[in-house]
Structure 1
Amino acid sequence: MLKGFKDFLMRGNVIDLAVAVVIGAAFGAIVTAFTANIINPLVALFGGNNVNGLSVQLGKSDKTIMDFGALITACINFLIVAAVVYFVFVLPMNKIKERRKKGEEPGPSEPTDVELLKEIRDLLAAQQNHQTVVQSTDVRNPKV
């Protein structure tokens, strides 16, 4: 029972799903705090004296602000999360899978197409020879 549960957990899809949930929940707050307190001030620095940093206001309403700084921040958030997922979860799992494969013995190799065709040819020839022998030894229908 435990071996089956272990095999279930070690399947790629379950691990991928678990990684996504853990990363989304645990690292979301850390990455948001990092970008809000470190990255956003740096992005706003390049935006000049404007309070909104790298943004453009298209109309007189606050709803018409195109905030490029928020887009850059979201991209940086994504890159940080992707790097953490890769280096903390995916890379070690791939190493574990490689180590497991090294311990396995390779199974019998599959025959090639040419080998299969030769086997079929030989079987057909043997079958044809067998039918010829049966027909020539048949007393009711002797071959002339």
Structure 2
Amino acid sequence: MTAIRRSIVVDRRPEDVCAYVLDASRLPEWQASAVTAERLDTGPPHIGSRTRIVRRVGSREMPTTMEITDYNPPYSWSMRGVDGPVRGLLRGEIEPLDEGRRSRVTLELDFDSHGIGRVLVPLLVRPMARKEMPINERRLKDRLESGAA
């Protein structure tokens, strides 16, 4: 299956967008399914940094660990799930617009599945992610542009 890819334009500098998006404590503010998120290491984000995220999937809460696999602030990053039957593969890109005053944020999400995840991804996870991504984009844009970020 193909990755889910969406873009939005945000009236904030790439540095602001990158700092907010990669701050694990902020994930539940803009990702609808994220219940909690916490960094598992200290210091600024870097390749190898891990974040533990608990997501609501249907009526269940599912923990997962994501690891940064590529990090080129403030322009791009990639993360991959390292545990569980459904492992997210996320790539983010931030393109400066209007001499860096605004940003185009592109998120690309795919899934790697193992065991029961092979059934869950097409039936539940991918449809849920397709429905949630526009909501997450709106929330991200609202948070960044309102100054709450």
TM-score w.r.t. structure 1 length?
Answer: 0.24
Higher relative contact order (CA 8 A, sep 6+): 2
Greater helix percent: which structure? 1
